[in-house]
Amino acid sequence: MEPIVNLSEGTPSMLNEAALKRLIIQQPELFEILQITATLNLADSWLCAGSLRNFIWNKLAGRPPFDQQSDVDIIFFDRTISYEKTVQLNRQLRQAQPKYNWELKNQAFMHHHNPHTAPYHSSRDAIRHFPERCTAIGARLNPRTQQLELFLPYGLADITRFVIAPTPYFANDPEKIAVFKQRVAKKTWQQQWPQLQIVLPQ
């Protein structure tokens, strides 16, 4: 499979929001995941993070776009659902839909995992606070219209240029930037996508 971007010449991708929507709709696994997520009726729920980022990187690099072994990152926001209940829901989802590696996270409480972070106000707010700009991406079927909706607080430039850079919330905090560096080292993304560039704040 040929890459849709000539990476050897450094040509920037023409992938924009409309084109990405078409790619997601045309990818059977991703669209099925979005449909299943919509049926869960969880408040403010989104498919996000590596599930979409890796799909784009694979597509741009000419690799099989969907990795069946990857986690399927689903977030929602509901202060009435406890951590224990979320774990139970995730277990039930894995049993009902064993085709995918579901990872269900309630963002009402996830701020505890990042230093110096106030409670999030919504799933969109949580996505803005993700460590990497390229990871801050979400997709869902709009609950009212059932049309595909994307949330791209930092755009697509970092993802399409294979750049890993911290979001402002991490770049401007020494303790958080240390977490960012540890996370990037642990993920070893460059072994899968050698063209990736890690960009740190000056």
Over the stretch 44-58, which tens digit does the pLDDT of each residue have? 999 999 999 999 999
Over the stretch 81-124, which tens digit does the pLDDT of each residue have? 999 999 999 999 999 999 999 999 999 987 666 666 789 999 99
- Mean pLDDT score, 124-131: 96
Position 122 scores a pLDDT of: 97
Q: Which residue has the higher pLDDT, 197 or 13?
A: 197
Spell out the domains of the chain, with CATH numbers in brackets: 7-160 (3.30.460)
- Mean pLDDT score, 129-149: 97
Give 78-83 contacts, CB < 8 A, sequence gap 24+. Answer: 78/42, 78/43, 78/44, 78/106, 78/108, 79/108, 81/106, 81/108, 83/109
